[in-house]
C-alpha cells in the first residue's frame, strides 16, 4: 500500500489518516480535488479486511464525487470518508472524535450520511463541526435528499428518451424500475403522473404491493427485470447490476436509473452497451439531484431553486449522450471529459487576480 | 506499509498525505499528540528511497517532538513534516503549496526549518500560512534559536554535574565539546565564562582554531574526543555518536550535549551507560531551549522570559536523573515517564468544563 502512488494514479490532493485512541476511531478522509470548491462526500463505516482495502475504497469513492459535483454544475470538489470497524463499535465519542478531525480541516471536507451511518451519527458529528450536511429537519437540515434525486432521475430519463427517440415524452412509454425506496418510488410516481406504464420490482414484496396499489403497473421479479420488454430499465437499488451476465438479456433501448455504480465494470460494460446500441445515461449524472439537495442545504438555497437545478439534468444527459455519439465514446467517458473540462476551465478563472492583496 | 498499524504502535493522532501535481509536492505531515497544544516540528526535505521510509521517519520524529515539548513544560504537541524529493526539485510553488496544506490544518500543525529546508523556504510557506515559526528577524521572527539552545545545554550540564557530584559548579571542570556550530560554540563560551576547562573538536579545523583563539582550551580530534580525560562529554554535532563502539572508550562521568539523537540505540546504549555508571542527560531534555525559543516567538514572549525558561533545564535534568536512580531506569526512560505524566495530567485538567456552552 503506497498512498502517494495511489494518489498519483487517481489525482488526489490529500489523504488524512485519523486515529483517536480513547474512542477507537480509525478513519481515512480523502480529498480528491478542490478546484471547484470544498470537497463533499459521505462518511461510510465498514469493517474492511485491511487498511489497503479501506484506502482503495475511499480514494475511488472520493474521485467519483469530484466528477459528480462537477457535472452537476456545483461549486464543490470531491471527498469521502471511511470509518474502519464494525457497526457494533459505534459510539458518541467515536463520531464526535471524527467530527473534530473534520472540523480541523476547516471546511476543506464536508461530510454526510453514507453506508452504515445515520442521522444520529451525523448529529454527534454536528456537535463538533459545522461541516456536516444532509441533516434531518430536526437538526436544522433539509432532510432526505431522495425526493430531489428522484426528480433529477425523472428528468435525466426524459433526456435519454429525447436522445434516443427524438421526443422527451414518457407518455405511453414503459419503464421497469428496480428498487422502490425513496428514489425508485419517487421516480415511479413522477413517471405515472406523466403517463408512463410501470413494471415494478423490489426484493421486499410488500414494497411492490404497496406501489402497485398506489401507482398501478405490473410486477416483475428477479432476472425478469433485465429481460423486461420495455423502453427503459431504471435500476434504483444496488450497484453492479448491469454486467456481462445481464447485458445479453436486455431488451430495453435505454438504461437510466438512480442507483450508484450501476455498471459492474465501467469500461467493459459501457462498451458492450454501446455495441448493442443501448443508451446508457451515466448514473452519476442522472442521480446528481442528491448532491444538489445537499449543496442547497449548505448554501441556504430554496427548495424551488434546487428542484429547478435537478430538472436541468435533462439537458446534461442530452449533452453527454450527444458527445458520446459524436466522438464514439462510452457515455461515462463522455461525461468524465465534460466534468474534467469544467474543472480545468473554472480552475483557470480562479487564477485571475481580483484586486485583493 | 500500514499507516494505522504504525500510528497504533507509536500513538499518533493524524497523518496527512499532501500532493500538489503542478509543483510536484509530495509531503507527509504527522501530528503525534495535541493534548498539550498545537503540534510543532520542523519540515525536512529528503529524497527517501520509498514511501514507507518517509512515513517511518516522520512518525518517529513527530513522536520525539511530543516528548521534547512536554518535558520543556510548553503548551505544544508533537508534529513533523517531510517533503519527499531531492533538494534540486525545490521551488516557490512547492513550498507555497505545502504552506496551503499547513494552513488548511488551521494551526493543528506549526512548521519550521529543518534538514534541507532554509529561511527562504519558510518565507514562501509564510506567504500562505501564519503557522510557520523560527523565522528570520527580517521576516518578523526571532531568528536562530541556537543561542537559547546553548544557554539551555549549559544549565542542563550544571544539573547533571549537581546530580553526579553534589555541586553544579563548572569551575575547574573539564568539558570536551564535539561540534562548534551555534550551539557548541555558545556552550563553550558559557563554560569558559564560568571557569571550565575546554577540549574542543570539530570536523572543520578552522572552527577549532577560531574557538581556541577566542576562548582558549585544547583541541581534540577524532576518537580522542570519546577517550578524553575529562568530566563531561558534550556532543553538539551529529547524532548516533554514543554507541556500542564508543561507550567503552569513555572516561568522562557525564554525557550531556546539544545534538539530537546522541545515542545510537536509546535502550541498549542507555543501559550500557547506566551499567558503567556514566550519567547521561537525555539530549531532548538538554537541548529544549530550541523549542522554547520557537515557542516564545509564537507567543510573543520576551527574550528574558525565554532565557529564564531555558535556564530551568537545570532543575529538569536533576529531576530526570533523580528519578532514573530511584527507580533504576535509563535516564531517557525516566524523562519519557515524566513527559507522559505531564501530558496525562494536563489532559485531565482540559477535561474540566469551564462554564462556556
Residue to substitute from A8, A13, A48, A62, interface B, most B β-carbons within 10 A = A13
The Cα of B106 is separated from the nearest Cα of chain A by a number of Å equal to 6
**Could you tell me which residues are beta bridge partners of residue A158?**
none
pLDDT at res. A83:
98
Q: A76 — alpha (psi -120 to 50), left (phi > 0) or beta?
A: beta
Asked whether residue A152 falls in the same domain as residue A118, the answer is no
The model carries a pTM of: 0.90
Cα A205 to Cα A210: distance, rounded to the nearest angstrom? 9
Asked whether residue A94 falls in the same domain as residue A193, the answer is no
| CA neighbor of B323 nearest in space, from B312, B313, B337, B309 | B337
Asked whether residue B118 falls in the same domain as residue B161, the answer is no
- Assign A73 a pLDDT band (cuts: 50, 70, 90): very high
Residue to substitute from A6, A8, A104, interface B, most B β-carbons within 10 A = A104
Decide if A110 contacts A64 (C-beta within 8 A). Answer: no
Indicate whether A289 pLDDT > 80. Answer: yes
With an 8 Å Cβ cutoff, are B17 and A7 in contact?
Answer: yes
Which residues, in sequence order, are CB contacts of B13 under 8 Å at separation 6+? A18, A19, A20, B7, B31, B32, B33, B34
pLDDT, tens digit (0-9, with 9 covering 90-100), for A5-30: 999 999 999 999 999 999 999 999 99
Cα A27 to Cα A58: distance, rounded to the nearest angstrom? 10
Asked whether residue A165 falls in the same domain as residue A249, the answer is yes
* More confident position, A174 or A113: A174
| Listed residues B116, B139, B162: the one ending a domain | B139
Q: Which residues on A lie below 8 Å from B82 (Cβ)? A: none
Q: Is residue B101 part of a domain?
A: yes
Q: Is residue B300 part of a domain?
A: no
Instruction: Reply yes or no on whether A80 is catalytic.
Output: yes
Asked whether residue A274 falls in the same domain as residue A155, the answer is yes
| Average pLDDT of the residues in A237-246 | 96
Which residues, in sequence order, are CB contacts of A202 under 8 Å at separation 6+? A178, A179, A180, A184, A208, A211, A237
Decide if B202 contacts B222 (C-beta within 8 A). Answer: no
Q: Which residue range(s) make up the domain with A127?
A: 3-64+78-139
Asked whether residue A162 falls in the same domain as residue A31, the answer is no
Which residues, in sequence order, are CB contacts of A253 under 8 Å at separation 6+? A164, A231, A232, A277, A278, A279
Q: What is the DSSP letter of A49?
A: S
Q: Is residue B303 part of a domain?
A: no
With an 8 Å Cβ cutoff, are A14 and B17 in contact?
Answer: yes
With an 8 Å Cβ cutoff, are B20 and A7 in contact?
Answer: no
With an 8 Å Cβ cutoff, are A16 and B17 in contact?
Answer: yes
Asked whether residue B332 falls in the same domain as residue B273, the answer is yes
Asked whether residue B226 falls in the same domain as residue B116, the answer is no
Give the containing element (helix H, strand E) for B39: strand B39-40
Cα B246 to Cα B227: distance, rounded to the nearest angstrom? 9
pLDDT at res. B205:
95
Q: Give the residue on B whose Cα is nearest the Cα of A7.
A: B19
Cα A255 to Cα A273: distance, rounded to the nearest angstrom? 9
The Cα of A237 is separated from the nearest Cα of chain B by a number of Å equal to 33
pLDDT, tens digit (0-9, with 9 covering 90-100), for A127-170: 999 999 978 888 778 778 899 999 999 999 999 999 999 999 99
Decide if B178 contacts B257 (C-beta within 8 A). Answer: yes
pLDDT at res. B297:
92
Q: Is residue A303 part of a domain?
A: no
- The beta strands (E) that lie in chain B are given as 14-20, 25-33, 39-40, 43-46, 77-84, 109-110, 174-178, 197-201, 218-219, 232-235, 254-255, 279-280
| Listed residues A114, A139, A164: the one ending a domain | A139
With an 8 Å Cβ cutoff, are A51 and B4 in contact?
Answer: yes
Q: Which residues on B lie below 8 Å from A5 (Cβ)? A: 51
Q: Give the residue on A whose Cα is nearest the Cα of B5.
A: A51
Which CATH number do you get for residue B181?
3.40.50.720
Asked whether residue A194 falls in the same domain as residue A321, the answer is yes
Indicate whether A1 pLDDT > 90. Answer: no
Q: Which of A80, A90, A305, A350 is catalytic?
A: A80
Which CATH number do you get for residue A28?
3.40.50.10860
Q: Is residue A69 part of a domain?
A: no
Residue to substitute from B7, B10, B11, B18, interface A, most A β-carbons within 10 A = B18
Q: Which residues on B lie below 8 Å from A12 (Cβ)? A: 19
**Could you tell me which residues are beta bridge partners of residue A177?**
A200, A234
The domain total for chain B is 2
pLDDT at res. A136:
80
Q: Which of B80, B189, B305, B356 is catalytic?
A: B80
With an 8 Å Cβ cutoff, are B106 and A108 in contact?
Answer: no
Residue to substitute from B2, B4, B9, B58, interface A, most A β-carbons within 10 A = B4
**Cell numbers found for residue B64:** 520525539
- Assign A291 a pLDDT band (cuts: 50, 70, 90): very high
With an 8 Å Cβ cutoff, are A26 and B4 in contact?
Answer: yes
Asked whether residue B331 falls in the same domain as residue B262, the answer is yes
- Assign A350 a pLDDT band (cuts: 50, 70, 90): confident
Decide if A31 contacts A18 (C-beta within 8 A). Answer: no
Q: Is residue A126 part of a domain?
A: yes
Of residues B2, B19, B20, nearest to A51 (C-beta) = B2
Backbone angles phi, psi at B28, to 5 degrees: -120, 125
The Cα of B121 is separated from the nearest Cα of chain A by a number of Å equal to 21
| CA neighbor of A259 nearest in space, from A282, A232, A238 | A238
| Average pLDDT of the residues in A76-80 | 97
ipTM > 0.90? no
Interface of B with A (CB under 8 A): 1-5, 7-8, 11-21, 26, 51-52, 84, 101, 104-106, 108
- Assign A356 a pLDDT band (cuts: 50, 70, 90): low
Decide if A155 contacts A314 (C-beta within 8 A). Answer: yes
The Cα of A83 is separated from the nearest Cα of chain B by a number of Å equal to 12
Q: Establish, for the pair of chains A and B, how many residue pairs have beta carbons separated by less than 8 Å.
A: 70
Q: Which residues on B lie below 8 Å from A8 (Cβ)? A: 19
Of residues A1, A11, A105, nearest to B104 (C-beta) = A105
Q: Which residues on B lie below 8 Å from A26 (Cβ)? A: 4
Of residues B4, B14, B19, nearest to A12 (C-beta) = B19
Q: Is residue A350 part of a domain?
A: no
Q: Is residue A70 part of a domain?
A: no
Asked whether residue B207 falls in the same domain as residue B325, the answer is yes
Cα B338 to Cα B188: distance, rounded to the nearest angstrom? 29
With an 8 Å Cβ cutoff, are A3 and B51 in contact?
Answer: yes
The Cα of A240 is separated from the nearest Cα of chain B by a number of Å equal to 29
Of residues B1, B18, B21, nearest to A14 (C-beta) = B18
Backbone angles phi, psi at A80, to 5 degrees: -165, 155
Decide if A51 contacts A306 (C-beta within 8 A). Answer: no
Q: Give the residue on A whose Cα is nearest the Cα of B13.
A: A19
pLDDT at res. B356:
66
With an 8 Å Cβ cutoff, are B101 and A14 in contact?
Answer: yes
| CA neighbor of A45 nearest in space, from A109, A97, A117, A96 | A117
* Cα→Cα distances B6→A50, A51, B15, B30, Å: 14, 11, 10, 12
pLDDT at res. A144:
82
Decide if B182 contacts B151 (C-beta within 8 A). Answer: no
Ordered per-residue pLDDT tens for chain B, 357 residues: 789 999 999 999 999 999 999 999 999 999 999 999 999 999 999 999 999 999 999 999 999 999 999 999 999 999 999 999 999 999 999 999 999 999 999 999 999 999 999 989 999 999 999 999 978 888 778 778 899 999 999 999 999 999 999 999 999 999 999 999 999 999 999 999 999 999 999 999 999 999 999 999 999 999 999 999 999 999 999 999 999 999 999 999 999 999 999 999 999 999 999 999 999 999 999 999 999 999 999 999 999 999 999 999 999 999 999 999 999 999 999 999 999 999 999 999 988 887 766
| Listed residues B139, B167, B182: the one ending a domain | B139
Asked whether residue A182 falls in the same domain as residue A330, the answer is yes
Amino acid at each position: 500500500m503506497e498512498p502517494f502512488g495511489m494518489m498519483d494514479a487517481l489525482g488526489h490532493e490529500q489523504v488524512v489518516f485519523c486515529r483517536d485512541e480513547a474512542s477507537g476511531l480509525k478513519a481515512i478522509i480523502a480529498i480528491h480535488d478542490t478546484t471547484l470548491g470544498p470537497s463533499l462526500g459521505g462518511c461510510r463505516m465498514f469493517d474492511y479486511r485491511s487498511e489497503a482495502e479501506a484506502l482503495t475504497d475511499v480514494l475511488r469513492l472520493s474521485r467519483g464525487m469530484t466528477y459528480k459535483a462537477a457535472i452537476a454544475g456545483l461549486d464543490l470538489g470531491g471527498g469521502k470518508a471511511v470509518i474502519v470497524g464494525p457497526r457494533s463499535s459505534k459510539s458518541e465519542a467515536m463520531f464526535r472524535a471524527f467530527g473534530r478531525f473534520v472540523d480541523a480541516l476547516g471546511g476543506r471536507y464536508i461530510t454526510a450520511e453514507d453506508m452504515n451511518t445515520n442521522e444520529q451519527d451525523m448529529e454527534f458529528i454536528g456537535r463538533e463541526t459545522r461541516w456536516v450536511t444532509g441533516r434531518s429537519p430536526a437538526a436544522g437540515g433539509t432532510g432526505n435528499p431522495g425526493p430531489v434525486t428522484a426528480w433529477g432521475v425523472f428528468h435525466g430519463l426524459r433526456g435519454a428518451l429525447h436522445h434516443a427517440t427524438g421526443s422527451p415524452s414518457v407518455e405511453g412509454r414503459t419503464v421497469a424500475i428496480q428498487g422502490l425506496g425513496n428514489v425508485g418510488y419517487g421516480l415511479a410516481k413522477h413517471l405515472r403522473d406523466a403517463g408512463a406504464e410501470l413494471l415494478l420490482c423490489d426484493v421486499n414484496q410488500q414494497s411492490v404491493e404497496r406501489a402497485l396499489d398506489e401507482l398501478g403497473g405490473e410486477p416483475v421479479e428477479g432476472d425478469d427485470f433485465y429481460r423486461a420488454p420495455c423502453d427503459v430499465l431504471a435500476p434504483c437499488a444496488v450497484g453492479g447490476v448491469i454486467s456481462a451476465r445481464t447485458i445479453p438479456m436486455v431488451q430495453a433501448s435505454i438504461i437510466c436509473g438512480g442507483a450508484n455504480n450501476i455498471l459492474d465494470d465501467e469500461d467493459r460494460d459501457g462498451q458492450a452497451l454501446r455495441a448493442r446500441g443501448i443508451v446508457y445515461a451515466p448514473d452519476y449524472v442522472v442521480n446528481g439531484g442528491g448532491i444538489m439537495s445537499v449543496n442547497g442545504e449548505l448554501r441556504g438555497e430554496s427548495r424551488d431553486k434546487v428542484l429547478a437545478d435537478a430538472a436541468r439534468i435533462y439537458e446534461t444527459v442530452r449533452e453527454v449522450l450527444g458527445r458520446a455519439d459524436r466522438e464514439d465514446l462510452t457515455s461515462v467517458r463522455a461525461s468524465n471529459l465534460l466534468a474534467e473540462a469544467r474543472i480545468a476551465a473554472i480552475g483557470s478563472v480562479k487564477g485571475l487576480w481580483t484586486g485583493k492583496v
